[in-house]
Amino acid sequence: MELLWKVLVAVALVTAAFIVMFSRVYLLYHSWSQVLWGALLGILLGCGWFTLTHLVLTPLFPVIASCLARQASFHELESEDIELTNENLQHLTEHSLLEDDDNDDEEITQRTQTTKRMAEAFNMIQQNMQIFIDDDSNRECSSKATAVT
Protein backbone atom coordinates (compact mmCIF):
# COMPACT_ATOMS: atom_id res chain seq x y z
CA MET A 1 0.00 0.00 0.00
CA GLU A 2 2.87 2.36 0.84
CA LEU A 3 4.52 1.62 -2.50
CA LEU A 4 1.26 2.48 -4.28
CA TRP A 5 1.15 5.88 -2.54
CA LYS A 6 4.76 6.57 -3.47
CA VAL A 7 4.06 5.72 -7.12
CA LEU A 8 0.90 7.86 -7.17
CA VAL A 9 2.70 10.83 -5.63
CA ALA A 10 5.59 10.48 -8.08
CA VAL A 11 3.21 10.29 -11.06
CA ALA A 12 1.27 13.32 -9.80
CA LEU A 13 4.44 15.38 -9.35
CA VAL A 14 5.83 14.45 -12.77
CA THR A 15 2.46 15.26 -14.35
CA ALA A 16 2.39 18.63 -12.60
CA ALA A 17 5.94 19.34 -13.79
CA PHE A 18 4.98 18.57 -17.41
CA ILE A 19 1.89 20.78 -17.15
CA VAL A 20 4.01 23.66 -15.84
CA MET A 21 6.59 23.08 -18.60
CA PHE A 22 3.92 23.13 -21.28
CA SER A 23 2.24 26.21 -19.82
CA ARG A 24 5.52 28.16 -19.79
CA VAL A 25 5.96 27.52 -23.52
CA TYR A 26 2.27 27.96 -24.36
CA LEU A 27 2.17 31.37 -22.65
CA LEU A 28 5.38 32.35 -24.49
CA TYR A 29 7.30 32.97 -21.27
CA HIS A 30 10.02 30.47 -22.28
CA SER A 31 11.15 28.47 -25.29
CA TRP A 32 11.29 24.68 -25.39
CA SER A 33 15.07 24.72 -25.03
CA GLN A 34 14.86 26.91 -21.91
CA VAL A 35 12.23 24.64 -20.37
CA LEU A 36 14.19 21.48 -21.15
CA TRP A 37 17.44 22.93 -19.75
CA GLY A 38 15.53 23.97 -16.62
CA ALA A 39 14.11 20.46 -16.27
CA LEU A 40 17.58 18.94 -16.70
CA LEU A 41 19.02 21.31 -14.08
CA GLY A 42 16.18 20.46 -11.69
CA ILE A 43 16.75 16.72 -12.15
CA LEU A 44 20.49 17.09 -11.57
CA LEU A 45 20.00 19.22 -8.43
CA GLY A 46 17.38 16.79 -7.11
CA CYS A 47 19.69 13.81 -7.64
CA GLY A 48 22.53 15.72 -5.99
CA TRP A 49 20.41 16.58 -2.96
CA PHE A 50 19.19 12.97 -2.66
CA THR A 51 22.78 11.72 -2.82
CA LEU A 52 23.95 14.27 -0.25
CA THR A 53 21.22 13.47 2.27
CA HIS A 54 21.22 9.67 1.93
CA LEU A 55 24.88 8.89 1.35
CA VAL A 56 26.57 11.66 3.35
CA LEU A 57 24.24 13.09 6.01
CA THR A 58 22.37 9.92 7.02
CA PRO A 59 25.55 8.05 8.08
CA LEU A 60 26.62 11.15 10.02
CA PHE A 61 23.33 11.40 11.95
CA PRO A 62 24.49 9.41 15.02
CA VAL A 63 27.56 11.64 15.34
CA ILE A 64 25.48 14.82 14.97
CA ALA A 65 22.86 13.57 17.45
CA SER A 66 25.56 12.62 19.94
CA CYS A 67 27.12 16.09 19.74
CA LEU A 68 23.72 17.72 20.17
CA ALA A 69 22.97 15.48 23.15
CA ARG A 70 26.23 16.52 24.81
CA GLN A 71 25.41 20.18 24.20
CA ALA A 72 21.98 19.65 25.76
CA SER A 73 23.65 18.23 28.92
CA PHE A 74 22.58 14.62 28.37
CA HIS A 75 25.67 13.24 30.09
CA GLU A 76 24.35 9.68 29.93
CA LEU A 77 24.93 9.69 26.16
CA GLU A 78 28.65 10.43 26.26
CA SER A 79 29.39 6.77 25.65
CA GLU A 80 29.44 5.99 21.92
CA ASP A 81 27.99 2.52 22.61
CA ILE A 82 24.50 3.87 23.38
CA GLU A 83 22.19 3.93 20.39
CA LEU A 84 20.15 7.10 20.10
CA THR A 85 16.49 6.26 19.70
CA ASN A 86 13.44 8.45 20.05
CA GLU A 87 12.57 6.65 23.29
CA ASN A 88 16.03 7.35 24.75
CA LEU A 89 15.83 11.03 23.86
CA GLN A 90 12.28 11.33 25.25
CA HIS A 91 13.33 9.64 28.48
CA LEU A 92 16.35 11.91 28.87
CA THR A 93 14.28 15.00 28.07
CA GLU A 94 11.64 14.04 30.65
CA HIS A 95 14.38 13.31 33.18
CA SER A 96 15.97 16.68 32.49
CA LEU A 97 12.60 18.44 32.80
CA LEU A 98 11.93 16.74 36.14
CA GLU A 99 15.28 17.97 37.46
CA ASP A 100 14.47 21.48 36.28
CA ASP A 101 11.05 21.31 37.98
CA ASP A 102 12.68 20.33 41.25
CA ASN A 103 14.93 23.39 41.05
CA ASP A 104 12.18 25.87 40.16
CA ASP A 105 9.83 27.12 42.83
CA GLU A 106 7.62 28.88 40.30
CA GLU A 107 4.71 27.00 38.85
CA ILE A 108 4.31 27.22 35.08
CA THR A 109 0.75 28.06 34.14
CA GLN A 110 -0.68 26.78 30.90
CA ARG A 111 -2.36 29.41 28.78
CA THR A 112 -5.37 28.64 26.65
CA GLN A 113 -6.81 30.61 23.77
CA THR A 114 -10.54 31.08 23.68
CA THR A 115 -12.44 31.83 20.51
CA LYS A 116 -13.51 35.18 21.92
CA ARG A 117 -9.91 36.25 22.69
CA MET A 118 -8.74 35.12 19.25
CA ALA A 119 -11.55 37.09 17.59
CA GLU A 120 -10.54 40.18 19.58
CA ALA A 121 -6.91 39.74 18.51
CA PHE A 122 -7.87 39.36 14.85
CA ASN A 123 -10.08 42.45 15.05
CA MET A 124 -7.16 44.43 16.49
CA ILE A 125 -4.93 43.22 13.66
CA GLN A 126 -7.56 44.20 11.10
CA GLN A 127 -7.92 47.67 12.65
CA ASN A 128 -4.15 48.17 12.58
CA MET A 129 -3.95 47.01 8.98
CA GLN A 130 -6.62 49.57 8.11
CA ILE A 131 -4.32 52.29 9.47
CA PHE A 132 -1.66 51.22 6.97
CA ILE A 133 -4.21 51.16 4.15
CA ASP A 134 -5.54 54.61 5.06
CA ASP A 135 -2.02 56.10 5.28
CA ASP A 136 -0.81 54.55 2.00
CA SER A 137 0.52 57.31 -0.23
CA ASN A 138 -0.06 55.15 -3.32
CA ARG A 139 -3.65 54.29 -2.40
CA GLU A 140 -5.22 56.00 -5.39
CA CYS A 141 -2.77 54.43 -7.81
CA SER A 142 -3.26 51.00 -6.22
CA SER A 143 -7.06 51.27 -6.38
CA LYS A 144 -6.88 52.22 -10.09
CA ALA A 145 -4.61 49.26 -10.81
CA THR A 146 -6.97 46.95 -8.95
CA ALA A 147 -9.98 48.32 -10.83
CA VAL A 148 -8.29 47.71 -14.19
CA THR A 149 -7.64 44.04 -13.45
In a domain, 143, yes or no: no
In a domain, 43, yes or no: yes
For residues 119 and 138, give the distance between their C-alpha atoms in angstroms, rounded to a whole number.
Answer: 30
Nearest CA to 92 out of 81, 80, 104, 76 is that of 76
Asked if 96 and 74 count as a contact pair (C-beta separation under 8 A), the reply is: yes
Nearest CA to 64 out of 89, 46, 36 is that of 89
pLDDT, one tens digit for every residue, the chain (149 residues): 888 999 999 999 999 999 999 999 999 999 999 999 999 999 999 999 999 998 888 888 888 777 777 777 655 544 555 566 667 666 766 666 555 555 555 555 556 667 877 788 888 888 888 888 888 777 776 666 666 65
Number of structural domains (the chain) is 1
pTM over 0.85: no
The DSSP line for the chain is -HHHHHHHHHHHHHHHHHHHHHHHHHTTSS-HHHHHHHHHHHHHHHHHHHHIIIIIIHHHHHHHHHHHHHHTT-GGGGSTTS---HHHHHHHHHHHHHHHHHH--SPPPPP---HHHHHHHHHHHHHHHHHHHHT-TTHHHHHHHHHH-
In a domain, 13, yes or no: no
In a domain, 141, yes or no: no
pLDDT confidence of residue 112: 66
Q: Which domain holds residue 70?
A: 31-101
In a domain, 56, yes or no: yes
For residues 136 and 99, give the distance between their C-alpha atoms in angstroms, rounded to a whole number.
Answer: 53
In a domain, 41, yes or no: yes
pLDDT confidence of residue 74: 56
pLDDT confidence of residue 107: 54
pLDDT confidence of residue 77: 47
In a domain, 64, yes or no: yes
In a domain, 90, yes or no: yes
pLDDT confidence of residue 114: 77
